[in-house]
């Protein structure tokens, strides 16, 4: 694994401009094959805090070989980001850092900031999660790249600018010569992250640390950026530390994976071993908790109960023991060392890993798989069941206004432009698409219960255009919403009992009845009734989302609108909420409108799926039809971009990478809106192309409950 990748780097744009980089690979090869680039030993970080000393990182050791990609996976609070910040010397002053980190033999920890500054960017560089705040808005990206280059190198401004253009080309920014003079705000999120990557490799560092580099990006953009990262890493021969919570992203990128829990690595292994033969219950738990887009059976997920421990006063023993179904007395007494299992390269910190190894257990074997009574869809065919929500030809246009005193319209944003779908009783429909596709606008239109600009919305048979104030309020009881962010969707200044009871009080329930119902609801979602007089802040993210769900269920609604309800949660917690949602749907005969960007989650929860692109539906149909035989080129690209937590499949999968970004909804392309990025359009002959340009594709029916809005739709298996 220590062999540096000496292959000739390829640049995606194919326009060359990587000469300097090629020579760098040679240097890396000479630099030594056996000694690791980065040796971390017993890294330990603690922060003083009001409630005590927060021991965020408790002894992390690893070697990073040249050209190696090490993935660090863990949930929030596991210490993965803090470790990397400690290596970069970027922690706040009050942090107490112990241990050792040697970069090519040179100790990094304990160095003064000015000394570290000379190394940062030149030897080690970092890519942060948020590309928006990683670039200074008032300088052009060229200036920022030049600054990055000239800080560490004595070159003329002109040479540095040439190099900047070269770097931009390398990360696949089109028209690099022109775009180098643009400001960050003129770039989309994905493009900005490319610029950040360009800055990170500007001085050909030995180590690149990427902290959740694609978490803020859409799935097709994520695929692009990961591709760039992979290419750049190979081209520069740098070692890459990839920090993420997403097991799918790591699977396709890393050579080796380290799983962290409560500030310590609990398992380290080569990527295939880790996914195929996990030897630590926590890793198993994580793998069992991830919904998979390619899972045909859709068994209930295996959530890991409980919450990660507080890092202030850790009790003795394995920190995972309270959540571990295999814990024995020893686990609660002594904390296990990270020891070799199976082979020297596979190490796990678990007293029971020998049992796991011996019996080769899978997640479902050790974590209790909750029993569900199957999906809530009744025996009738969907056409026979009554519709709870019908949306037809819905459009919402926002005027673009200009002028300070007198605002005059100068254009129109076609946020939603003719969307139609229906949800039958007991059914879950997912509305998916990337940011800017109009799914949130659609959702808000439905929630407002007001007459839409164009088209019609009808909830439980009554059209929103004909509702009076009273009717609207009555209808609100039947339709409730759960929001994405469990932190901000609960009033921080209200006790939980009042939050859950608010819809009841609003619709005229008296105090005693409300109190009784609140107790029932809290228990229904897996909380305790005595929690009612606590404030939301005293709960963890998963619990808060359960409170949000309890509030939505208070009035016995028939339709629940879920706006990305699990995307803010950690994997092991997310699984519990997904299972809860499935269970509730089955038991209470609910219908869901599930808005999400995570296709794996959607695949798990929903019966039907509607894919949106630029204000229009691209494809709609049953989950099986759409996932197994996607017909619209956009759906195919979207599905092929979904990372799978399976290294072997990730390596062999072919991704359909889309070019560029979403066009502006203020100026959508004529005809088919997807044609500007469509891989199919690109290979059509001129006549066929003309049809895409002139004629807007209607929703072509593709058999039972499946439709695609493409003139040349063809099924393709991508998962």
Q: Which is nearer to other proteins, 561 or 678 (CB)?
A: 561
Reading the block at residue 432, the tokens are 């998916």
Of 4 and 497, the one with the shorter C-beta distance to other proteins is 497
Burial 461-499, CB ≥16 within 10 A → b, else e: ebebeebeeeeeeebbbebbbbbbbbeebbeeeebbbeb
Evaluate whether 583 touches 676 at the Cβ level (below 8 Å).
no
From the CB of 236, what's the least distance to other proteins, in Å? 42
In DSSP terms, which residues pair with 708 in a beta bridge? 619, 700
Exposure string for 324-333, b = 16+ CB within 10 A, e = fewer = bebbeeebee
Closer CB to other proteins, residue 262 or residue 490? 490
Chain centroid to CA 692: 32
CA distances, 202 to each of 135, 148, 195, 211 (Å) = 15, 7, 10, 18
Nearest distance, CB of residue 573 and other proteins, angstroms: 10
Nearer to other proteins, 186 or 360 (CB): 360
Please say whether the beta carbons of 102 and 132 come within 8 A: no
Q: Which is nearer to other proteins, 418 or 526 (CB)?
A: 526
Beta strand 207-211 pairing with 239-244 = parallel
Closest CA to 45 of 55, 33, 31, 60: 55
The DSSP element (H or E) to which 594 belongs, if any, is strand 591-596
Minimum gap (Å) between residue 334 Cβ and other proteins: 19
CB of 361 vs other proteins, minimal distance in Å: 7
Binding site for other proteins (CB under 8 A): 305-307, 322-323, 325-327, 355, 359, 361, 365-368, 447, 472-473, 476-477, 480-481, 483-485, 488-495, 497-498, 500-503, 506-507, 514-515, 518-519, 522, 526-530, 532-538, 543, 548, 551, 576
- Buried b / exposed e across 642-669, counting CB within 10 Å, b at 16+? bbbbbbeebeebebbbbeebbbebeebe
Structure tokens at 532: 């009612």
Residue 301 CB, nearest approach to other proteins (Å): 14
Q: Which residue has the tokens 């992979």?
A: 230
Q: Is 192 within 8 Å of 132 (Cβ atoms)?
A: yes
Residue whose CB is less far from other proteins, 187 or 367:
367
Min dist CB 376 to other proteins, Å, is 21
Rounded distance, CA 67 to CA 19, Å? 18
Distance, CA of 641 to CA of 597 (rounded, Å): 12
Q: In this complex, which beta carbon is closest to other proteins, that of residue 55 or of residue 256?
A: 55
Which one, 387 or 529, has the nearer CB to other proteins? Answer: 529
Nearer to other proteins, 118 or 537 (CB): 537
Count of C-beta atoms within a 10 Å radius of residue 532: 20
CB of 364 to other proteins, least distance (A): 9
Nearer Cβ to other proteins, position 133 or 506?
Answer: 506
Minimum separation from the CB atom of position 482 to other proteins (A): 9
Tell me the closest approach of the beta carbon of residue 459 to other proteins, in angstroms.
12
Q: How far is the CB of 67 from other proteins (least distance, A)?
A: 41
């Amino acid at each position: 694994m220590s062999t540096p990748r000496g292959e000739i780097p390829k640049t995606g744009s194919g326009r060359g401009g990587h000469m300097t980089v090629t020579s760098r690979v040679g240097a890396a090869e000479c630099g030594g094959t056996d000694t690791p680039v980065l040796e971390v030993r017993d890294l330990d970080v603690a922060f003083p805090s009001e409630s005590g000393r927060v021991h965020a990182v408790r002894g992390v050791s690893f070697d990073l070989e040249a050209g190696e990609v090490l993935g660090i996976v863990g949930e929030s609070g596991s210490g993965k980001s803090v470790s990397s910040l400690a290596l970069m010397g970027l922690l706040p002053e009050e942090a107490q850092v112990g241990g050792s980190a040697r970069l090519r033999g040179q100790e990094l920890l304990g160095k003064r900031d000015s000394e570290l500054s000379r190394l940062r960017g030149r030897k080690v560089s970092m890519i942060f999660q948020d590309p928006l705040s990683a670039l200074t808005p008032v300088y052009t990206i060229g200036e920022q790249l030049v600054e990055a280059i000239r800080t560490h190198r004595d070159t003329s401004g002109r040479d540095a600018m040439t190099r900047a253009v070269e770097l931009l080309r390398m990360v696949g920014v089109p028209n690099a010569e022109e775009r180098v003079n643009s400001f960050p705000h003129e770039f989309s999120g994905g493009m900005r992250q490319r610029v950040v990557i360009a800055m990170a490799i500007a001085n050909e560092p030995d180590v690149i640390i990427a902290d959740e580099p694609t978490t803020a990006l859409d799935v097709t953009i994520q695929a692009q950026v990961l591709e760039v990262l992979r290419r750049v890493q190979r081209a520069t021969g740098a070692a890459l530390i990839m920090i993420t919570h997403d097991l799918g992203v790591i699977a396709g990128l890393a050579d080796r994976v380290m799983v962290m829990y409560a500030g310590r690595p609990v398992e380290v292994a080569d990527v295939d071993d880790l996914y195929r033969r996990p030897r630590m219950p926590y890793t198993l738990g994580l793998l069992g908790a991830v919904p998979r887009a390619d899972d045909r059976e859709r068994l209930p997920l295996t959530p890991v109960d409980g919450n990660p421990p507080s890092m202030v006063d850790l009790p003795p023993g394995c920190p995972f023991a309270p959540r571990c179904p295999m814990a024995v007395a020893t686990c609660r007494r002594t904390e296990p060392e990270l020891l070799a299992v199976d082979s020297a390269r596979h190490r796990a910190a678990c007293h029971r890993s020998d049992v796991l190894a011996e019996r080769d257990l899978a997640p479902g074997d050790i974590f209790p798989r909750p029993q569900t009574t199957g999906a809530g869809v009744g025996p009738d065919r969907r056409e026979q069941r009554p519709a709870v929500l019908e949306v037809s030809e819905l459009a919402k246009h926002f005027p673009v206004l200009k002028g300070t005193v007198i605002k005059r319209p100068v254009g129109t944003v076609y946020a939603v432009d003719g969307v139609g779908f229906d949800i039958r009783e007991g059914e879950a429909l997912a509305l998916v698409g990337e940011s800017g596709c109009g799914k949130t606008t659609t959702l808000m239109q439905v929630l407002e219960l007001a007459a839409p600009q164009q088209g019609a919305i009808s909830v439980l048979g009554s059209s929103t255009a004909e509702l009076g104030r009273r009717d609207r309020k009555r209808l609100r009881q039947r339709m409730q919403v759960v929001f994405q962010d469990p932190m901000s969707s609960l009033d921080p200044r209200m006790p939980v009992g009042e939050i859950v009871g608010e819809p009841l009080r609003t619709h005229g329930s008296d105090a005693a009845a409300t109190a009784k119902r609140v107790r029932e609801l809290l228990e229904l979602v897996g909380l305790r009734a005595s929690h009612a007089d606590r404030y939301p802040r005293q709960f963890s993210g998963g619990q808060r989302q359960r409170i949000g769900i309890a509030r939505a269920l208070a009035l016995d609604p028939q339709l629940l609108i879920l706006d990305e309800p699990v995307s803010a949660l950690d994997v092991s917690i997310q699984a519990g909420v997904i299972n809860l949602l499935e269970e509730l749907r089955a038991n209470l005969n609910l219908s869901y409108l599930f808005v999400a960007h995570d296709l794996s989650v959607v695949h798990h929860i929903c019966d039907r799926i509607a894919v949106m692109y630029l204000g229009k539906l691209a494809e709609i149909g049953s989950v099986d039809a759409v996932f197994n035989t996607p017909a619209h080129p956009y759906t195919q690209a979207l599905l092929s971009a979904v990372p799978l937590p399976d290294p072997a499949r990730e390596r062999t999968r072919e991704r359909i990478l889309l070019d560029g970004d979403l066009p502006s909804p203020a100026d959508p392309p004529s005809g088919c809106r997807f044609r500007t990025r469509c891989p199919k359009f690109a290979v059509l002959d001129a006549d066929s192309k003309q049809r895409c340009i002139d004629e807007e594709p209607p929703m072509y029916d593709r058999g039972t409950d499946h439709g695609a809005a493409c003139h040349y739709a063809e099924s393709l298996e991508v998962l």
